Structure 1
Amino acid sequence: MNDGSRSMKREQKTIQDAGRITARRKSEHIRICLEERVESRIRPGFDGYRFRHAAVPELNFQDIGTEAHFLGKKMAVPLLISSMTGGTDEAGAINLLLAEAAEERGWAIGLGSMRAAIEDAELASTFRIRQAAPSIPVLANVGAVQLNYGFGVDECREIVELAEADGLVLHLNSMQEIFQPEGDTNFKGLLERIEALCVKLEVPVGVKEVGWGIDGANAVRLAEAGAAFIDVAGAGGTSWSQVEKHRSADSVRREAADAFADWGIPTAECIGEVRSRLQDVTVIASGGLRSGVDAAKSLALGADLAGFGRSLLAGAAVGGREERLEAIHHQLERIEFELKAAMFGIGAAALAELQGTDRLVRLS
């Protein structure tokens, strides 16, 4: 064996080892999110708003329209199963169940970070959901910071093709990375790299936070870099510094994590800021949404889609296959009903009327 062959084998082993580390981390994330208290101490902000009830809605409930479009595809509802997981057999099973339910009910779906699929080809199957979701929008996903650690246009194109995705979302998770034992913390120069990717990739590229929020000023910078959509992913749901606290053996970071349990910008605040600064960019609201009423408030505040994440995880992860699928369908159906009921309650016959309503008031 020549030196070149040995070097190539060492490199392949290093990449596979990185893939195993990533897979182990994903498995730990699922367990922690299911078993530990990892909520932000911040409220998402929707309880600061109320809809004014319309006693005479002048509507037939059955006629209310919730059809939406995203990435060139029609959806039955303006709702998204947010990026959560992938990279392990368990995660792959969860993704397929979520995709099957999303397809049947007309939701969009985002995949968890697909870095593991590049590091270890054996994990790629955990992100292949298109067979279960042939017609709905599917988002591939990777951490934006990976653009500073060897990920380029080719790798991003590879994960988009693997997922047969309609778009790519880059997640911003700076606070998670500094608490993560294996964290990648060089976020310098990312806007320039994001811009280059947006220019060269064949599908739309969007950006999301993971639970600390995107404000108006940063949204403008991302839109100017070419982001086609922005998921504000505000504070009020999962706190990833709290998640990483449960993985860390570093006593300093473990203790410090609690000081950041109330870090971030509430989701409702993010939506208003971003929409006020950007009129032509698709805005997705996620971060602590728990009901269709939260989704309705998000849309009335200026969002185009509303995303749900960890609140769906338990149903997708616990029990037999049919039990899990039934639990997911139940949750999605409940959220849809609550959204339509809120629209009925204010007399909004279509999404455009909900988004333009003056019946959402801020409480003093």
Structure 2
Amino acid sequence: MNEQERAGKRLLPEVATGERKLEHVRLCLEENVAGEGITSGMERYAFRHNPLPELNFDEVSLETAFIGKKVRTPLLISSMTGGSETTGAINERLARVANARGWALGVGSVRAAVEQPELAHTFEVRRWAPDIPVIANLGAVQLNYGFTTADFQRAVDIAGADMLVLHLNSLQEIFQPEGNTDFSGLLHRIEELCAKLDVPVGVKEVGFGMDGEMAQRLYAAGAAFVDVAGAGGTSWVQVEKYRNTNPVRRAAAEAFADWGIPTADCIREVRTLNPAGALIGSGGLHSGVDAAKAIALGADLAGFGRSLLESAVASDEALSQRLEQVEFELRTVMFGIGAGTVDELRGTSRLIERR
């Protein structure tokens, strides 16, 4: 299918994308949208305590770098929202607090703003976050629905982003009433986009995980990084279940409550097969201890999503306190195993699998 044919497939969704994003936020706050019968896998790992860390706690450093960008912490606010006045305000708060605390920031899918330019301001986070890496976000499947290289560049420009991540959400699209379900031929189109854009392009899942072999193929296609976004946190099948009025689809969603690859398994497998690839570990992380485990398993950054949402909706103070807690927990782990830097944490032998 050529670009003109793909452009013909771009149709206005039955529900405006921005309205859908607001509904997603409401459902994530009010309903049980976590996967059931599956966890992130982080509980299977534990750190061996070091009774004499030979460190000054005040000198434990969280500073690191990602894709050439220095950051004060190895922590990421994962892509969440945008596209309406309410979700735009959430993005503004996320950007302000992330910048103050030195977290990297991913915005939700910028598709709404590409399709409706009047919504662009809800993703314009760079003015609130001048000092941190910002990651723009669009669905990879839009390459099959008329989005051109210029559209993806527009998403980057709107967010003032340093890089772009393409999300893979195939199962979500199946259960989404407005879903785009043609995922054919995408790897080649991702490769073309990686070659054309003037910023690094990464690829992420949205909560069902990425295996090492697929990550290997994506790196080979030019992906600058991958985000495994493993199972154990939000299940977007369960989110869409609440939006879908089709009784068959709603009932079928229950069969997929435990679908996906646990985050810990994803990180370990992707890192084993791709020792040099830039890697984000996200999916069901709730604490700085989880973040430490993700990094010790091989992630460069640890990403947090829905576990921050309630604080992000509440206030700057609540969100800042939540991020500070994660940082404190992470530094305490590092102190507790004698790792004074993120590199030392990443190379530790003190993470063990529980029997």
TM superposition score normalised by structure 2:
0.96
Mapped partners of 2:263, 2:83: distance in 1: 28
Q: Which amino acid aligns with 1:270?
A: C
Identify which of 22, 26, 46 aligns with 1:27: 22
1:222 aligned to 2:221? no
Give the Cα–Cα distance (whole angstroms) in 1 for the partners of residues 337 and 68 of structure 2: 29
CA deviation digits over 1:200-234, x for unaligned, max 9?
10000000000000000110111111110000000
1:124 aligned to 2:120? yes
Partner Cα separation in structure 2 for residue 250 and residue 20 of structure 1:
15
Q: Please tell me whether the aligned partners of residues 109 and 138 of structure 2 are also in contact (alpha carbons under 8 angstroms).
A: yes
Q: Once the 2 structures are TM-superposed, how far is the Cα of residue 328 of structure 1 from its aligned partner?
A: 0.4
CA distance, structure 1, for counterparts of residue 166 and residue 76 of structure 2 = 16
Instruction: Please say if 1:262 is aligned against 2:233.
Output: no
Aligned to 2:244: 248
| Contact 2:67–2:278 under 8 Å retained in 1 | no
Partners of 1:19 and 1:86 in 2: how far apart? 18
Tell me by how many angstroms 1:27 deviates. Answer: 1.2
Q: Report % sequence identity.
A: 61
Report the alpha carbon displacement of residue 72 of structure 1 after superposing the two structures with TM.
2.6
Gaps of 5+ in 1: 1-10, 319-323
- Conserved? CA contact 1:19–1:117, under 8 Å: no
- Superposed CA offset, 1:75-108 (max 9, x none): 1100000000010111100000000000001000
What pairs with 1:109-188 in structure 2 (closer than 5 Å)? Answer: 109-188=105-184
What does the per-residue CA deviation read over 1:102-132, in whole Å, with 9 as the maximum and x for residues that have no partner?
A: 0001000001001101111111110001111
Question: Equivalents in 1 of 2:58, 2:112: separation in Å?
Answer: 44
In 2, the alpha carbon distance for the partners of 1:86 and 1:150 equals 21
- TM-score normalised per structure 1: 0.93
CA contact (8 A) 2:53 2:336 kept: yes
Instruction: Note if 1:345 corresponds to 2:336.
Output: yes
Q: What residue is the counterpart of 2:90 in the other structure?
A: 94
Alignment of 1:1-364 (within 5 A): 18=13, 21-41=16-36, 42-318=38-314, 324-364=315-355
Whether the 8 Å CA contact 1:157–1:201 is kept in 2: the answer is yes
Q: In structure 2, the residue corresponding to 1:187 is in which secondary structure?
A: coil
Aligned residues: 346
Tell which deviates more after alignment, 70-79 or 249-258.
70-79
What does residue 7 of structure 1 align with? none
**1:14-63 CA distances to partner (integer Å, 9 max, x unpaired)?**
97x54961112111101100100000121100100010000111111011
Q: Is the 8 A contact 1:71 1:137 kept in 2?
A: no
- 1:317 Cα offset (Å): 1.5
| Contact map agreement 2:13 2:178 (CA 8 A) in 1 | no
- What is the root-mean-square deviation in Å for CA atoms of aligned residues? 1.3
Contact 1:171 1:208 in 2 (8 A): yes
The structure that has the greater radius of gyration is 1
Distance, in Å, in 1 between the alignment partners of 2:215 and 2:298 is 14
Amino acid at match of 1:325: D
8 Å Cα contact 1:238-1:310 kept in structure 2: yes
